[in-house]
């Protein structure tokens, strides 16, 4: 969820894998390196229902673009690919669609070998979001953070869960434990 430290966890995992001489690519969504990702980011800063719909459609295109990148062979240069936001992003959809969308994604799209949910207390997440000093995105409210977190936790059966509410040192310890097990 927003403000949980997904990018920080991804960079920590990448550093750990690279220390084992693995080539690692991080794909973040929205992907600021693509026009679709930049447009998606712009719509996330709106506050209307139309902004939500358009940013969601652009998110889907952004992820599909990343999957195409991998399928076209350019991903073969890497031993590991880390997706920041992927199937768990369905938690941002209306509640009645969350389970259906998650099941569809798991059946149709490639499934990661390791699935990690970065969990955080919504109050801590909101504090981190505000500390960034950036414009708030449409999903970055106390209520939406709580709702999205609840949905993500419901979907996380079989996922490894990192609690990132207690800071970087605690998160790093959890990442190292996960990496030792894979």
- pLDDT, one tens digit per residue, over 42-87 is 999 998 899 999 999 999 999 999 999 898 878 789 999 999 999 9
Asked whether residue 111 is assigned to any structural domain, the reply reads yes
Extract the residue ranges of the chain whose pLDDT is less than 70.
Answer: none
Please, how many CA atoms are within 13 Å of residue 6, restricted to the half-sphere of its CB? Answer: 19
The pLDDT assigned to 75 comes to 78
The pLDDT assigned to 64 comes to 94
Asked whether residue 27 is assigned to any structural domain, the reply reads yes
The pLDDT assigned to 100 comes to 96
Asked whether residue 169 is assigned to any structural domain, the reply reads yes
Asked whether residue 39 is assigned to any structural domain, the reply reads yes
Asked whether residue 66 is assigned to any structural domain, the reply reads yes
Asked whether residue 1 is assigned to any structural domain, the reply reads no
Name the residue range of residue 98's domain.
Answer: 6-181
Number of domains in the chain: 1
Q: How many Å apart are CA 139 and CA 182, to the nearest integer?
A: 33
Give me the CATH number covering residue 170.
Answer: 3.40.50.300
Supply the DSSP symbol for 160.
Answer: E
Helices assigned H by DSSP within 83-158: 95-108, 122-132, 142-155
């Amino acid at each position: 969820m927003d403000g949980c430290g997904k990018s920080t966890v991804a960079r920590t995992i990448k550093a750990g894998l690279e220390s084992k001489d693995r080539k690692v690519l991080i794909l973040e969504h929205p992907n600021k390196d693509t026009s679709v990702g930049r447009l998606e980011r712009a719509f996330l800063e709106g506050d209307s229902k139309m902004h939500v719909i358009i940013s969601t459609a652009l998110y889907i295109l952004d992820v599909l673009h990343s999957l195409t990148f991998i399928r076209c062979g350019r991903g073969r240069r890497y031993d590991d690919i880390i997706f920041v936001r992927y199937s768990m992003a369905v938690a941002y959809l209306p509640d009645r669609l969350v389970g259906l969308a998650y099941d569809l994604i798991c059946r149709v799209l490639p499934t990661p070998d390791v699935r990690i949910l970065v969990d955080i207390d919504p109050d801590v997440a909101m504090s981190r979001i505000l500390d960034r000093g950036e414009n708030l995105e449409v999903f970055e409210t106390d209520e939406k953070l709580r709702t999205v977190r609840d949905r993500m936790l419901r979907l996380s059966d079989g996922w490894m869960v990192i609690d990132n509410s207690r800071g970087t040192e605690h998160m790093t310890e959890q990442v190292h434990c996960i990496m030792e097990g894979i």
